Structure formats: structure tokens, C-alpha cells
Amino acid sequence: MTQERLWQVLDPSWGDPRTLSALLCSSVAAVVLLKWLERRQIQQKMKEARRARDLALEGMEKAAGRFKQENPGTQTEQILSLTMMELVEKLKDGSLSPESILYTYMGKALEVTREVNCLTDFIHGCEDQLQKLKNQKEKGLLYGIPISIKEHIDCKGHISSGGMVKFLGQVKEEDSVIVQVLKYQGAIPFVRTNVPQTMINYDCSNLIFGQTLNPLNHQKTPGGSSGGEGALIAGGGSILGIGSDVAGSIRLPSSFCGLCGLKPTGNRISKLGVVSPIVGMESVVPALGPMARDVDSLALCMKALLCEEMFRLDPTVPPVPFNEEVYTSSKPLRIGYYEGDGYFQPSPSMKRAIQETRKLLQDAGHTLVPFVPPKIDYMVDELFTRGIFSDGAVHLVDCFKGDIVDPTLKSQFNTYRLPALVKRVLAIVLKPIYPRIARHLSALCGVG
């Protein structure tokens, strides 16, 4: 149809067709321009956050450099080679000073982040905490131990973004309860570590701070979501870190980076002062927990955290201290294990690790009982996925207004953002061919 014919068909009462087409074109142009401006604004915010990170790390480098210059005899290599328990002992008997350990780890953490991009911030208040410790008579269980903190756990004077633009610019006025308790026990929080956007991801990338690499193999991810912690500790830049986990976020990076990690029982450790794009999670409870190079360090950290001070700061945490008697008991245990859960296919190396562990435990006198996890499909789809996304992922998707989705999250996010009706229809259509995908889509509709 020619343009002339089109003008003839259009009802003249609509107005001049030329005006109409001009209006249409300018509306499209305005939308494109607005989108472009919005994207530019988002990118600007990301750039500012990155710049703040770079400035903070520059400050950290200067402080570490100054200490090195003023204390040329510091045994850096020796300090970095000690286990956390050895550091604790040497700090206690005074043969090592908290500052020599803190500044040594600051220097090493900077080295590691240059290689794998695991740091998002330097906690400048660590130098105040150092001074405070010097004036304290009582030495806490973690006296003088530098500790790294996952990025979404609040530290006074810093932002907690979870890799999301929405949370940038909100400088926290208080330390989270866990950070307060760590300081109370004499630890020195000194750096914050990278996370994947939203933290609902097993990679470790966001568009603000970038992708974190695995120090054992740069072609691989350190895992997520506590991937910055995993990379930093495995690279030797921290002796102890705090991560969080609802479905593997401490355990996966610990495994990928050759570390030890513990996801405590939900509500065992206070989560007051932690940012998350998912609200609720009442039936699938996330937990904060330690990551380190050995089990003794995890146990000491748990012992330090489960104290009166935490129960006082967060009365919702059951006041149950660390059970030393159970932990140190050598009584033989009855331990259940499985090689595969029937849902996720374990790799041959995972199967081998299970068998090797089983054998070690049996040789140590424990009784090992194989079992098959019951109702696994129901557990994953109905209890886990529907539990986490009980609102049909509406709040999570909402948090992306004014943000750009990281490529590592895109396919996952595209499913979350589907309208509930589309998810429901797709679940019905796909059920006969892909029952597992159908169940997942149905669970993503949430409850109600």
C-alpha cells in the first residue's frame, strides 16, 4: 500500500496523518532516549561505586605500605604460613602483634584481588578496632584475627549492595550484629568480598564490581554466592571469612576453592543487618557462617559467635552456646550418608570424595549408614523453590527496576520475570515432555 493510499484509508477525523506519524515517531524516539538515559544513569551509579572501591583499596595499599616501611623486619612470609590456631596462640602469648598480622594480611589481600578481583571494599575502621584492642584488658576468643566479610553484611560507614544498584548509596549507620560480635571477640574486620548479583547464583559476578575468578584456576568460577570469600581465603589473603548460605552459598565456594565452610542451622547466628533482594525466606532459612582453611578455625569462630553478646544484641537467636563437650567428644557416632540424592548427578570425583570420607570415618570407629533422601522432587520443588520464591519472585524482579541484569544471571532471571499465568501455562504444556522443568516453573509461581 502506498503512502498516499494509506492517507486515504485513515479516517480524516483522526487528524492530519502527517501529524499522526510525526507523533508516533517522536514517541518511539522519546522512549528510546529515556531508556538510553536510564541505562546511562545506572552505569554512572555503577561507575561511582567502582571508583569508591578503587579509592578504598588505594587507601588500604597506602596504609599497608606505610606499616611495611616503618616495620621492615615484619616476618610476612612466616605470618602468612601460620594456621589460624597458631596465630591465636602467638597473639595470646604476645610473640606476634595484632598490627603485624593485620597489615600483612592487608598487603596479601591486595595482591590476591589484583589477580582474581575478590575485594569490594576496605573497612577503614579496622585501624580504629586495632587501637581499641590495644587498650582492652580482656582478650576475646578471636583477639587480633583479621577477618573478611561478605559484601551484603552491613559494616558501619559502608554500603551493602548485594551486587545491585538499588542498594547503592545507602551508607549503613550500624554494624550488623555479626560484625559487632566479631569485634567484641577481638576480631578485626578489614575487607569486604564480592558476590554475584542478588546472591541467588552459584557464579560470582555483578556489573558493579565485576567477575571474581578462582585462584586455583582462572578459567573457573570460585563458586557462589560467597565467591569473593572463597577466592580471597584460597588465595591466602584472609585467614577467616564470613559468608552466607541458603542453598550452597558457603558450601559451594568452599568446595570449589579447596576450603572448609560451615552453614550453621538457620537462626543459630543473627542475620540482623544483612541485605537481601528476597524478603521472607521463612521456610527456607538462610544462614551466615564461617569459611576458613581448616575445621578448627570454623569451630573457634562458631564458639566466639555463640556468646551472650549475640544473644543480647538479637533476642530472636536461641541462647544456646557452643557445645564444647559434644565437639571434643571422641564417642563413636552413627553418621548417615548418601552418594547421590537422585536429583543432582554427582561427578565421579564427588562420588570418590564421599567414599574416601566414609572410609576415613569408619576407620576412626564411627558407624556409617547409607540412606536415600526421601521425596527429593517434593523437597527441591515444593519445599525449597516454592519456599524461597513464595511471592512468585515478584519482590526479586521488582528490585531490578533501575538495574541491568548480569549476564551470569540472565537465563535464571528471565524465568523469574515471566508472568505467573505464563509460568502456569508453560508448566502444563511442558509437563509430559519435561516434567522436571514443569515442576520448577510451577514452583516459581509461589504460594497463594
CB closer to ligand LCI7CZNC out of 84 and 182: 182
Min dist CB 444 to ligand LCI7CZNC, Å, is: 8
Torsion of CA 394, 400, 406, 411, to 10 degrees: 30
> How many separate helices (H) and strands (E) can be counted in the chain?
19, 10
Catalytic choice (148, 176, 205, 225): 225
271 contacts 286 by C-beta, under 8 angstroms: yes
Residue with cell 541505562: 39
225 an active-site residue?
Answer: yes
Site for ligand LCI7CZNC in 362-401 (CB under 6 A): 380, 384-385
Min dist CB 259 to ligand LCI7CZNC, Å, is: 16
The answer to whether residue 225 forms part of the interface with ligand LCI7CZNC (CB under 6 A) is: yes
Site for ligand LCI7CZNC in 181-210 (CB under 6 A): 199-200
Residues with Cβ within 8 Å of residue 318, at least 6 apart in sequence = 267, 268
CB closer to ligand LCI7CZNC out of 160 and 276: 276
Q: Tell me, by CB under 6 A, how many residues bind ligand LCI7CZNC.
A: 14
Distance CA 275, CA 172 (A): 11
Q: Which of 203, 229, 245, 403 binds ligand LCI7CZNC (CB under 6 A)?
A: 245
Min dist CB 286 to ligand LCI7CZNC, Å, is: 3
The answer to whether residue 427 forms part of the interface with ligand LCI7CZNC (CB under 6 A) is: no
Residue in 143, 144, 154, 201 with CA at minimum distance from that of residue 176: 154
Alpha carbons within 13 angstroms on the beta-carbon side of residue 56 total 20
Min dist CB 162 to ligand LCI7CZNC, Å, is: 8
Residues with Cβ within 8 Å of residue 376, at least 6 apart in sequence = 341, 342, 343
CB closer to ligand LCI7CZNC out of 100 and 442: 442
| Residue span binding ligand LCI7CZNC (CB under 6 A) among the ranges 23-31, 104-112, 203-211, 240-248 | 240-248
Residue in 405, 444, 411 with CA at minimum distance from that of residue 426: 444
Min dist CB 182 to ligand LCI7CZNC, Å, is: 17
The answer to whether residue 249 forms part of the interface with ligand LCI7CZNC (CB under 6 A) is: yes
Residues with Cβ within 8 Å of residue 326, at least 6 apart in sequence = none
CB closer to ligand LCI7CZNC out of 144 and 286: 286
Q: Which residues is 192 bridged to in the sheet?
A: 121, 149
CB closer to ligand LCI7CZNC out of 298 and 380: 380
Q: In sequence order, what DSSP letters do the residues of 309-363 get, joined into one string?
A: HHHHH-TTS------HHHHH-----EEEE-S--SSS---HHHHHHHHHHHHHHHH
Min dist CB 282 to ligand LCI7CZNC, Å, is: 12
How many Cβ atoms from other residues are within 10 Å of residue 437's Cβ?
14
Site for ligand LCI7CZNC in 265-294 (CB under 6 A): 276, 286
Residues with Cβ within 8 Å of residue 165, at least 6 apart in sequence = 42, 45, 46, 208, 402, 403, 404
| Residue span binding ligand LCI7CZNC (CB under 6 A) among the ranges 65-73, 212-220, 244-252, 402-410 | 244-252
Min dist CB 158 to ligand LCI7CZNC, Å, is: 17
* Helix locations, 3-151, DSSP H: 3-9, 17-70, 76-81, 84-93, 98-116, 126-134
Q: Which residues is 291 bridged to in the sheet?
A: 241, 261
Min dist CB 48 to ligand LCI7CZNC, Å, is: 24
Catalytic choice (249, 276, 297, 390): 249
95 contacts 153 by C-beta, under 8 angstroms: no
The 116-145 site mask, x for binding ligand LCI7CZNC (CB under 6 A), equals: ------------------------------
CB closer to ligand LCI7CZNC out of 193 and 225: 225
Burial 54-69 (b: 16+ CB within 10 A, else e): eebbeebeebbeebee
- Beta strands 260-261 and 287-292 are antiparallel
Catalytic choice (150, 263, 271, 423): 150
The answer to whether residue 246 forms part of the interface with ligand LCI7CZNC (CB under 6 A) is: yes
CB closer to ligand LCI7CZNC out of 155 and 200: 200
Min dist CB 150 to ligand LCI7CZNC, Å, is: 8
User: What positions carry a catalytic annotation?
Assistant: 150, 225, 249
Q: Which residues bind ligand LCI7CZNC (CB under 6 A)?
A: 199-200, 225, 244-249, 276, 286, 380, 384-385
